[in-house]
Amino acid sequence: MFKLKLESFIFIIKFFLVCLITSMITFLITSCSSSKFNKFSDIKITAPIKAPNKHAQWILYQKRHQNLIKGNWIFEGVVGVSISGKGQSARVLWERAPEKYEINLFGPLNIGSVNIKYNNGIYEFINDNGDKYQDRNPEKLLNQILGYSLPLLGADYWILGMIDPSYKYNNIKLNEYGSLSNISQAGWDIKYLNYKVYNGIMMPNIIIFYNSDEDLRIKLVIKKWAFK
């Protein structure tokens, strides 16, 4: 009887600690997100409209988004990683400024919450223990640390629904809105499942990245965009 009561007490303590840690993480994520988004203007979200001529619309899309590639923007969302059938997820907050960006991942991803910074060609990876790693090739660096890579080399373009001019590409397809639906580039098969319009700018809302060499699938769901 005493053993059962002790086991019940330990279970309650563990459950309480898990709830407390979860609440603290949620609070920190919300606080961090709010403070960063406060620097940007309010966003009105609408649904995209079908394009009468999707190829002509694609040309306009590229012209409009060209200024965003090295501009100021931020998004918040959830990233899910599945490698060899095993999955995990994390919340993501990604802020871009000219010539640099910062990614905060809140979740497991094998090592807990992480911070990734890019500045003048150097990628810096900081885990929740404060350990720092640097390299000019982020996918190689993350593969060494996490055991898999993330599609960061072309991310400035891919996140915006654009083609990175540094790499050859194929399998390009446009959707009914005149924006990217599918493209294969730099070892990644990229599929855009959904778009939304933020203050008149159409942006990806759900993106799937697949690397067949690593049997790696990454799903990015963007819940909020903002621009300066």
Predicted confidence (pLDDT) per residue in 174-197, tens digit: 999 999 999 999 999 999 999 999
Q: Return the higher-pLDDT residue of 17 and 140.
A: 140
Rounded Cα distance between 204 and 186, Å, is 19
Kindly tell me if the per-residue pLDDT of 143 is higher than 50.
Answer: yes
What pLDDT, in 10s, does the model give residues 216-228?
Answer: 999 999 998 988 7
| Mean pLDDT in residue range 144-160 | 86
| Mean pLDDT in residue range 93-120 | 82
Q: pLDDT class for 171, splitting at 50, 70, 90?
A: very high
Q: Are 117 and 126 in contact (CB under 8 A)?
A: yes
Q: Return the higher-pLDDT residue of 65 and 121.
A: 65
Locus of tokens 């939304």: 196
Q: Are 226 and 40 in contact (CB under 8 A)?
A: yes
DSSP letter assigned to residue 178: S
Range of 101-115, 119-133, 144-158, 173-187 with top mean pLDDT: 173-187
Rounded Cα distance between 223 and 69, Å, is 19
Looking at residue 29, its pLDDT comes to 47
Structure tokens at 102: 């910062």
Looking at residue 149, its pLDDT comes to 82
Looking at residue 85, its pLDDT comes to 80
Q: Are 225 and 74 in contact (CB under 8 A)?
A: yes
pTM (2 d.p.): 0.81
Stretch among 7-21, 44-58, 125-139, 144-158 having the lowest mean pLDDT: 7-21
| Mean pLDDT in residue range 96-124 | 82
Count CA within 13 A, CB hemisphere, residue 61.
26
Looking at residue 8, its pLDDT comes to 47
